[in-house]
Structure 1
Amino acid sequence: MNDEVFLKVEVAVLLECMCDRGAGALCLLKCSMCNYAFFFPPPYDRKFVITKDNVALMYHAPGKKREFNAFVLDKTYYGPYDETTCIDWTDDSKCFAVGSKDMSTWVFGAERWANLIYYSLGGHKDIIVACFFEENSLDLYTISQDAALCVWQCDTELDGLKPMPPKDAAREKNAEENDEEFLEELKGEEIHGKANPNEQETRHKVKYSRVAKYFFNKEGDFNNLTSAAYHKKTHLLVTGFASGIFHLHELPDFNLIHSLSISDQRIASISINCTGDWIAFGCSGFSCGLQVKVWNTSSSFCFVTFTEHTSGVTAVTFTSSGYVILSASLDGTVRAFDLHRYRNFRTFTSPRPSQFSCLAVDSSGEIVSAGSQDSFEIFIWSMQSGRLLDVLAGHEGPVSSLSFNPVKCVLASASWDKTVKLWDMLDSWRTKETLILNSDVLVVAFRPDGKELAVAALNGQITFWDHENAVQTGSIEGRHDLQMGRKELDKITAKQAAKGKSFTTLCYSADGQSILAGGLSKFVCIYNVKEQILMKKFEISCNFSLDAMEEYLDRRKMTEFGSMALIDEGAGGEDGVAIPLPGVKRGDMSYRHFKPEIRVTCLRFCPTGRSWAATTTEGLLIYSLDSGLIFDPFELDIDVTPSNIHKTLHQKEYTMAIIMALKLNEKKLIQEVIEAVPSNEVDVVCSSLPDLYVEKVLEFLASAFEISCHLEFYLTWAHKLLMLHGTKLKTRSVKLLPMIQFLQKSIQRHFEDVSKLCEWNIYNIKYALAISQQRGMKRLAEEASVDEEDLDSDSDYLMTLLTEDTANINNEPELIFF
């Protein structure tokens, strides 16, 4: 089979699923046989171009109906002398441009135009990276690898393209009667371009002229331009470089809008959405396990990445303040990162190089501990000085997990030696107690109140311990809840494979009533600790491209000898074996294709108790409670109805109306009732609320801060409730901790937004004050400017002057800044 036929078959297989797309769809696919890609150009979507080596092949795309010969070669374009790198179409699909490694760009007509068959553009000194047509025009932009941009202007509009004269009818009839000539016609028309056409060919033809050439700011030869994208409607050009920097320019004036570095890897691909609001970048470099990323849960954006580690990161944790992140790595270091300045301000190391497998920090944030998987030791450091305080020895196997008691200064360490040791941090770090289990211990976790310890072992059990008395208080058999799938290369069934699986991560809920468990499975289980029963299972992924997703393998992949993935089908063939050895130069060139196994590596509950996060093979997943659409009444009786609540509110019985609304537990109704209370009545209503409903009101206030703009009103409610009922709430602080943290998080978010606005207004006030003092006065060249120190000395004095001056000078209205 020759290359052309094979290429057509390859494209037909790849595009078989695309044959039912309607007109107007824009598709871009990548073929392993071609250099660049093939396009469905708008608006017809009936033709696509493939570039192979230095040749461009145009095919007719199939329609909605199945056809015997779906892909027909229409034209073959010859022009570049080297491999092609990029393609772009005009908006009406009349022409397309092809960039090449020979530093030239070729413009071809998709149809036979009388005044445009081909056109060659030079002017570059390096490989062409991208070429873009202007919107509804033949004007062209070409970008080369040496960061040069050429702007080409065409003397002809798209409507000025003239079709070729019709062929002689007798000639067409004779061509159809000749079989050989008819077969030659099926191979497609060939168009050969010349770099320097003669004068007769260029007469009355489309002409291009270079009107401008720009150069991007470069840091050196190593920082080549690697990718580019252009949004025609907004005239926005995005270019990426090998150093991870990207530029935003406005064309055709080449105005720099923004420049930013997003990575230390080469930016290999850029794409802009249809509205021009979002830009996607793809980096060819791959540095899995070497980075610590911090995400904003509100915006779902990663706002900082730390890359100081040189090996896999095994554990990450926050301090109690929330402004320091600690990470342990296999490179033998534990690093502390500051979220104020975004820097690595402390690095902890061991006397002998060790691979750290787990990490823990105490509630005060002063003691940092890390466990080693090769020396079986636990290292203790001081956060303030960075000094190594002690090395705890005693385990006879790799240390798998560490956890500090949130209330007492006690450290629990788990090991593969089937023990859990409790270390007293106040008594010279001596062993306080040793808990012996029946299997290797994988993970330990303290309850938020510090009164219970959960332990997960290799036998699939979760045991609960009273660590003060070293007594087991309960256990959960979780092996059957894992529901492990069967991998393609497994020789046993999933039921038998599940006997060797277990939970590898545990996390208590914020109130300590439930516990999350995950491991080598696609399910995350949540158990009730008191009843020791399974409450719910969460399926983290439905992606069947991952391994171990199905309990039973597909019968089509099974033979009498087992799975087809285990069979070496190509042994002894000319192309090598199906599963080649490393270093093989025949066959698939040692290409390795593997399916990552689905698993859950870590689980953490949010301090507010409203959500929890899971790091999995699929990515970072966040699950959150959404009770707004659920009818969940509280102590509901027959008299609690929306009409009775409105009637009570109309009678100005605010306390009773709030209690009735909390019983009905509809968020919009609660908001309506609370916002109807006058501000001068808040103190009286708060003092008359029962203790049970104070918690409900505080919980509503925490959620209301997220969506409401009545900040002062809700802050007054929160202040009065905490001042009047603070003593009673403190006695139930452990139970109310998630709600208080949720309230604090909501207030903190608004504080940050308002503080930024206030800081911005300070400078506006200073400017307005300086202008008001200069109004009506002739400013001399030697006159000094207003002293900033005097302006900052008294903010009240500034506001007074601003109000008086701006209101009195020229009878102008008073200035108000928001």
Structure 2
Amino acid sequence: MKSDFKFSNLLGTVYRQGNLVYTSDGKKLLSPVGNRVSCFDLINNKSFTFNYEHRKNVRRITLNKQGTLLLSVDEDGRAILVNFVSRIVLHHFNFKDAVNDLQFSPNGEYFAIAMGRFIQVWKTPDFTEDRQFAPFVRHRIYSGHNNDVLSVTWSNDSRFFISTSKDMTSKIFSLSSAEKDVAMTLAGHRDYVIKAFFNETQEIIYTISKDGALFQWEYTEKPTDGDSEDEDDENDSDDEESESSKKPMSWRITAKNFFHSDARVKCATFHPKSNLLIVGFSNGEFRLYELPEFNLIQSLSMGQNSVSTVNINATGEWLAFGSSKLGQLLVYEWQSESYILKQQGHFDSMNALCYSPDGSRVVTASDDGKIKVWDVVSGFCLVTFSEHTSSVTAVSFAKRGQVLFSASLDGTVRAWDLIRFRNFRTFTATERIQFNSLAVDPSGEIVVAGSQDTFEIQIWSVQTSQLLDTLAGHEGPISCLSFGNENGSILASASWDKTIRIWNIFGRSQHVEPIEIHSDVLSIAMRPDSKEIAVSTLDGNISIWDIEDAKQLHLIDGKKDIIGGRFLEDRFTSKNAARSKFFTCIGYSFDGLTLVAAGNNNSICMYDISNEVLLKRFTVSQNMQLNGTLKQLNSSRLTANGESLDLIDRDGENSDLEDRLDITLPGSHKGDPSLRNVRPEIRVTSIVFSPTAAAFAAASTEGLLIYSVDETILFDPFDLDVDITPESTLESLKEKEYLTALIMAFRLNEDYLIHRVYETIPVNDIKLVSQDLPIVYLDRLLTFIGKLVMESSHLEFNLLWVQSLITSHGKYINAHKHLFSSSLKSIQRFLARLAKDVVLVSKRTGYLQSYLTQETRELDTYVEEEEEHENDDEEMDEDEEQEHNDNDDSDSDGEGWLGAANGKKASNAFEEEGESDSDEEMDSN
């Protein structure tokens, strides 16, 4: 199995603090998540998290207009410059103070930093003439404020910028030293000025204060004393005198508007092209105004907590809101009044997680009583279940079907339908007990749960939701339960009585004698083939046991591999710390050869079971604001008594009233992370391998960490020579050497080239190429097909490829399942989707067939009736024609159509005369 796992994504949390940034095209949104930065693709419904980490939580981020450089700064002023396209860290820099705002100029040549009472302008890093990379060069420091600067806003031409401050003023500065006269102070507000904006023409400036006042400034004539109408008339009569006596110009307030809200203004943004102003308040309300008329367009609320930040994309359509207390991120389209993105992480720490059988989803459970389903590819939460009334302690999927099970401290075990997203079963015991462990039979027919209140294991039937049985035998509370994936009747349970028992569920008996463990069992995991079981104990060891013989096979000493960090109140280094030298959660890989383990520490260890060696160790987080990440003792942050200065509560020294208020419960470890009175501790509560064996997930204090094998190889130099080029590959394709061309395309590893060769191979040659394909390229071809089929319209062509490859190499694939698990899962997803489409089409065509059949029957009946009518008409026509022929025979042969007509008239007249004569005779008689 591959061991080159790397951090790939961070799920479970979408926003912590700081500002939100759109890319220049408005399709992607950047959000600070703790000490990392996440990017959400709003068009393609995907997300990723940058691999780099800050030492503390990110405070501000900014992206240049070209979309190439990303600059992020943490709470200590340490900045990291990143290439946004390639996601590579370019430079580290320390500004040595807290940064309140950070903005790139519109032309991308400078960036401004609001730090303390000063504004620093730096040149954007670029390549100079001698090709030397100059990371950070300071252009100038601007001063003039008497208190902290809160924001910096650039003009559209990048010549000027406005700064706002806590001293209730705004100042205009020029980037060029030749324009010193431009510098001006805009005063008049009665509270902090949180933001200022230029309009599109740069003729109007808007300033917004915290108390809800909006001032409009324009560059007009400055009034002077002693002016009169006579002097104006004289100036109008003489042009030279009017120019010499011209009034001085100045920025003056031309309009004052007020929001009239009981809440304070927390953030604001302005879109110059559409004159749209968006304001967020401390009560969760946000409003949209049209300037300069100050017309209220919309007023909505995103909750009861304050709106921390707001931003708008370049087109002025999508608004992004962030709430730090809720960890909520919204993208709102104000014209259609709909949400483009609405995501929120767990309110409390995560307790458990599990993968879906196809590996496309991850389910997390938390102390807040909620269950969230996350999509692995997009990184978005699909659905949230909140029916549990207490902490959810365990979640597990059934091996078949979209059924999820959860156990909670509220005394219930629930079954969830992930197709209709509803709770369809609820399991309870005969008495009210708190469930802390859960296991599901691979067939999905049996669900078992354990509790720390009783010593029995509860067994329910999923079909009837009836309590079938209770397994008694343990002499202490149940701590862990585990089923295997293949033999569904084998259940392993661990208890506080320091024993592990193997049960035969359907036989209602113990499989073997209880396994005695010399230390408390913290976690157990059964190998997928149900032949071995791994046990993590309090003494830091991981022991592997054979289920059939109850013999110990392997013993891994994990104490020496664990990185134990020091807490802030510790007076010793992490090397001398003795806490958390054990693993609280372990998980088997798909092939059963590798074990991954983690606990209440800052390390994730991956072991090779057969050799009992450490393959790789991952660091969970480098965030120094969490307990357990520090290594060395910093004596400069210690008082004379040996106490840490960071433990001193300085909230009472804050300038804002809402920051000075403290409504938290002292010593509380749970609840909103931003309201805790103690520092959160780094830990991993659950860790699980993906069914595809290409990734594993860890539920940590920072969120849901996804580590995956990086399979995006840009260039594969193996088996290459100078003759293998794209041109030679296409030449082989023209000469109908399809196998050679396909192998050459895989060696070059160019997607467009592989795609062209793949679709050029004729249908008749697919079977032959599949049979002769080397085993080395089998997994890569299956992976390529799995990615292609989800977007390709050639269904039969792709199915023929899959059928030929499976038929030709089925035995090898079956013997090496772990090598092809990822590619086969993608093929399986395609086949499942195709099967659904085929069933749907068959249903529709069935209805259409019945309709057409009924119509055909009616049409046949109608045609038969018409044919009968036609036969009757033909017989009548024949009779009429016969009579007509007889009349023609009686006529003279020399008369034409005119003479026949005259003869008919004469006969009619004769008949009339005959009738009249007969009438006269009857009258006379």
TM-score range for the pair, normalised by the shorter chain length: 0.5 to 0.7
Equivalent of residue 623 in structure 1, options 700, 707, 713: 707
Equivalent of residue 206 in structure 2, options 96, 99, 107: 96
Amino acid at match of 2:272: E
Contact 1:148 1:214 in 2 (8 A): no
Amino acid at match of 2:574: A
Displacement of 1:441: 0.7
Q: Distance in 1 between matches of 2:826 and 2:477?
A: 38
Q: Percent identity?
A: 31
More off after superposition, 295-304 vs 42-51 = 42-51
Equivalent of residue 77 in structure 1, options 188, 191, 198: 188
Equivalent of residue 216 in structure 2, options 101, 104, 107: 107
**Counterparts of 1:189-228 in structure 2 under 5 Å?**
none
**Counterparts of 1:541-560 in structure 2 under 5 Å?**
541-558=621-638
Structure 1 residues 237 and 600 mapped into 2: Cα distance closer, same or farther (>3 Å)?
closer
Structure 1 residues 721 and 395 mapped into 2: Cα distance closer, same or farther (>3 Å)?
same
**Mapped pair 1:119 → 2:255:** yes
**Mapped pair 1:236 → 2:298:** no
Displacement of 1:435: 0.8
**Counterparts of 1:349-388 in structure 2 under 5 Å?**
349-388=428-467
Q: Deviations over 1:417-442 (max 9, x none)?
A: 22111111012254643111111111
Q: Which residue of 1 aligns with 2:824?
A: 743
Q: Distance in 2 between matches of 1:496 and 1:148?
A: 51
Computed over aligned residues only, the root mean square deviation of the Cα atoms, in angstroms, reads 5.7
Structure 1 residues 407 and 118 mapped into 2: Cα distance closer, same or farther (>3 Å)?
same
Q: Which residue of 2 aligns with 1:465?
A: 545
**Mapped pair 1:302 → 2:396:** no
More off after superposition, 638-647 vs 329-338 = 638-647
Q: Distance in 1 between matches of 2:203 and 2:476?
A: 68
Contact 2:103 2:152 in 1 (8 A): no
Q: Which residue of 2 aligns with 1:805?
A: none
Displacement of 1:607: 1.1
Contact 1:506 1:518 in 2 (8 A): yes
Equivalent of residue 444 in structure 1, options 524, 527, 530: 524
More off after superposition, 236-245 vs 358-367 = 236-245
Q: Which residue of 2 aligns with 1:486?
A: 566
Amino acid at match of 1:613: A
Unaligned ranges ≥5, structure 1: 1-9, 66-71, 155-207, 268-286, 585-589, 767-787, 799-818
3-state SS of paired residue (1:468) = coil
More off after superposition, 495-504 vs 637-646 = 637-646
Structure 1 residues 705 and 489 mapped into 2: Cα distance closer, same or farther (>3 Å)?
farther
Amino acid at match of 2:593: Q
Q: Deviations over 1:662-688 (max 9, x none)?
A: 997968687777556432022234456
Amino acid at match of 2:621: S
Amino acid at match of 2:562: L
Q: Which residue of 2 aligns with 1:713?
A: 797
Q: Distance in 2 between matches of 1:231 and 1:638?
A: 52
Q: Which residue of 2 aligns with 1:40?
A: 152
Unaligned ranges ≥5, structure 2: 1-74, 78-94, 118-145, 178-182, 223-248, 348-365, 654-659, 667-673, 857-925
More off after superposition, 752-761 vs 337-346 = 752-761
Structure 1 residues 543 and 650 mapped into 2: Cα distance closer, same or farther (>3 Å)?
same
Q: Distance in 2 between matches of 1:405 and 1:363?
A: 7
Q: Which residue of 2 aligns with 1:347?
A: 426
Amino acid at match of 1:135: P
Contact 1:419 1:434 in 2 (8 A): yes
More off after superposition, 380-389 vs 648-657 = 648-657
Amino acid at match of 1:117: I
Q: Distance in 2 between matches of 1:11 and 1:466?
A: 52
Q: Which residue of 2 aligns with 1:49?
A: 164
Q: Which residue of 1 aligns with 2:402?
A: 323
Q: Deviations over 1:316-366 (max 9, x none)?
A: 222112512222222222222211111122222222222222211111111
Contact 1:97 1:131 in 2 (8 A): no
Q: Deviations over 1:392-418 (max 9, x none)?
A: 233333322211022221110122322
Q: Distance in 2 between matches of 1:86 and 1:793?
A: 67
Report how many aligned residue pairs link the two structures: 658
Q: Deviations over 1:132-168 (max 9, x none)?
A: 65626878688998989786665xxxxxxxxxxxxxx
**Mapped pair 1:533 → 2:597:** no
Displacement of 1:610: 1.4
**Mapped pair 1:402 → 2:511:** no
* Largest Rg, 1 or 2: 2
Displacement of 1:552: 2.2
Q: Distance in 1 between matches of 2:271 and 2:716?
A: 57
Q: Which residue of 2 aligns with 1:415?
A: 495
3-state SS of paired residue (1:503) = coil
The higher-RCO structure (CA 8 Å, 6+ apart) is 2
Contact 1:226 1:266 in 2 (8 A): no
Displacement of 1:38: 2.5
Q: Distance in 1 between matches of 2:163 and 2:646?
A: 39
Structure 1 residues 557 and 64 mapped into 2: Cα distance closer, same or farther (>3 Å)?
farther
Q: Distance in 2 between matches of 1:264 and 1:647?
A: 53
Per the normalisation by structure 2, the TM-score is 0.58
Q: Distance in 1 between matches of 2:427 and 2:765?
A: 56
Equivalent of residue 603 in structure 1, options 687, 694, 700: 687
Q: Deviations over 1:576-632 (max 9, x none)?
A: xx9x99889xxxxx9854332222221111111111111112211112212443888
Displacement of 1:745: 2.8
Amino acid at match of 1:554: N
Contact 1:315 1:328 in 2 (8 A): yes
Amino acid at match of 2:685: T
3-state SS of paired residue (1:680) = helix
Contact 1:88 1:131 in 2 (8 A): no
Structure 1 residues 569 and 26 mapped into 2: Cα distance closer, same or farther (>3 Å)?
closer
Q: Distance in 2 between matches of 1:601 and 1:520?
A: 7
Per the normalisation by structure 1, the TM-score is 0.65
